Each structure stands twice: as C-alpha cells, then as structure tokens.
Copies of this chain bind each other. A is one copy, B any other.
Amino acid sequence: MNKITDLFNIKYPIIQGGMVWCSGWRLASAVSNNGGLGLIGAGSMHPNTFREHIQKCKKATDKPFGVNLPLLYPQIDQLIDIIIDEQVKIVFTSAGNPSKYTTKLKENGITVVHVIANTKFALKAQQAGVDAIVAEGFEAGGHNGREETTTMALIPLIKDNVTIPVIAAGGIANGRQMAAAMALGANGVQIGSAFAVTQESSAHYDFKKHVVDSVDGDTILTLKPLTPVRLMKNEFCIDVEKMILKGEEADVLRQFLGKGRAKKGIFEGNLVDGELEIGQVAASINSIPTVAQLMEDIVCQYNRTIDSLVKL
C-alpha cells in the first residue's frame, strides 16, 4: 500500500491515462479490473456518450474507476453535472485552471487530481485543494507543457515543492520506467501510450499497428504556437512544421488544423491527415497486448527491477 493505492483504494499505483479516442468504458474497466485505476477520457465525448460510457463502466467493473476531464471542454458544466449525477468518485482534471471546479467536485465527495507540467501550477493545484497531482513530462503524448521539462527533471522538483501525492506521467510504458519514476519520488504512475495500443483501447487497429512499428525520433512536439502536442510525425505534422518555420500566424495554423483531426487519426486510422497523439515511448512498444497482459508485464518487470538494484 502507498499514498496512491490508499487514495483510490486500488491494488497497484498504476493509473491509465484518459486519452481521447482510446479510453472508453472498455479500456477503463479492464484497467480497474486488473488492479489499476481506469479513466474514461471525456475529451472526445459528447455529454450523452460520456454518460453512456460511465454507466457501462459501472456495469463492467465493481472496482474504482474515474474520468479525465479537460477543463477547456466547451460543455464542461454539463459534464460535471453528469459526473455528480452518476456518482463518479474520482476525477482527473487537465488543460485548465483547477481552482474553479475543485471545490464543487470535492463538495460532492469526489477525489480530484489535476495534471500539471511545472512547479508554478503544481503549487496552484495544491492550493486549489486537489488530492494529488499528475506531473507530466515532455516525453508524454498529446497535450504538453510549454517548459518542455522532462519526467526525469520534473518529478524530484515537484516532490520537493508540494506535500500532496505526485503521480508521474510521460515516458512510462514498462516496469523499468515505472521503477525509475518511483525512484524519482513519484507515489504512482500514469501510463498512456502503452494502454492506447492495448486490445481494449478504442483506437483504430491501423493506429495501434503504426505505433508498434515506430522507432525513436518518430514523434514530435508540434503546434507550439497554439498548444504544444506530441504526435507521430506524418504528412499533416510535417506540413504544420513547415508552416511554423515559414513564420505563419497562430490563426493560419488553427484554420489548417481544423476540427476532428485526432478522431481522424486515432479513431478512424487515417495515418496521413490525422493527429496521431502518442508519447516517445511509442518506440519501445512492440505488441498489442490485452490490458491483463500489459499490467502483468509491468508489475513483473517492476519487481524484477527493484530486486536488481544494488547499493553503492
């Protein structure tokens, strides 16, 4: 038992990232059923779909699960009402200021965790009253911080600055990386990419296969003039980088980006024009396992790694 397994009442301090177009009820319930904490990713869901996923997840597991809520979601108040109405007990908030919503969620008995990428926002989140934070490094897939601080540099710094539990995210896909994160001082880990390519993830098979086939250097942190996001390099990405190098304004980029790029890439498997959100660990991912297999691999390798470390 540790602070994170205590906080969520779970077996392993392993949290699945609530990723757009990957993290529906099927993935979240599988992670929870295997001893971790599954999260439904609200970011890609209409409110009605979101409610449906919560209801299905409740039927599929009697273990704790949560939702990931990007605070910049347009119908955020509607989603929060659904969360309270459906008695979801754990909410991870990201991409926004937690001070506005944390109190309301906590008044309804909900455990709140906020995602940050620097010391300043870690302190703000703690002040807002969240129960824990996710500290996310530069290597993570999807939306990312502007400071570009990596997990290795970020976790000890955040641990020295806050008193609430810290969950490390970014660069963690196997047991060695989980052991490293715990050595850095994390109380638990959040794993995204590795769960995105499990059989229970709702991502398109072609997207999963593409991740499995990738090598180091195949992802890039791009769209920096808008919001930095880590993607697999593809034609869309290269076009964006060319526009940035030409000095195009944010508005031009926003128009080129358009809507539905992540759905196109991750859910529909359009590897050319889609936004293929994934972390740098993609290069280390070599199979499309079930959640049960992945969890077992991580836990076994974590334990072997701890055993292998010798003192100086």
Contacts and interface: CB of A to CB of B under 8 A. Distances in A.
A141 to B, nearest CB: 11
Copy number in this complex? 2
Given A150-B139, A150-B171, A307-B311, A156 B177 contact: yes
B156 A139 contact: no
Contact of A280 (B150, B171, B307): B150
Contact of A149 (B177, B216, B303, B309): B216
Interface in A257-312: 279-281, 283-284, 299, 302-303, 305-307, 309-312
Contact of A217 (B118, B181, B183): B118
Contact of A170 (B152, B215, B245, B305): B152
Given A182-B309, A217-B118, A302-B312, A176 B150 contact: no
Contacts of A180: 152, 179-181, 183-184
A65 interface: no
A7 interface: no
Contacts of A152: 137, 139, 150-152, 170-172, 177, 180-181
B147 A150 contact: no
Interface residues of A, number: 55
Interface string A172-211: 1010110111111100000000000000000000000000
A171 B151 CA distance: 9
Contacts of A306: 183, 309-311
A303 B150 CA distance: 23
Interface in A121-160: 137-139, 146-154, 156-157, 160
A247 interface: yes
A157 B152 CA distance: 16
Contacts of A170: 150, 152
A228 to B, nearest CB: 12
A180 to B, nearest CB: 4
Given A139-B150, A150-B139, A176-B185, A215 B312 contact: no
Contacts of A310: 2, 306
Contact of A183 (B176, B215, B247): B176
A180 B194 CA distance: 20
29 contacts: A139-B152, A148-B220, A149-B216, A149-B280, A150-B152, A150-B171, A152-B172, A152-B177, A152-B181, A153-B171, A153-B281, A154-B216, A156-B284, A157-B216, A176-B183, A176-B184, A176-B185, A179-B183, A179-B309, A180-B180, A183-B306, A245-B247, A299-B312, A302-B311, A302-B312, A303-B312, A306-B309, A306-B310, A307-B311
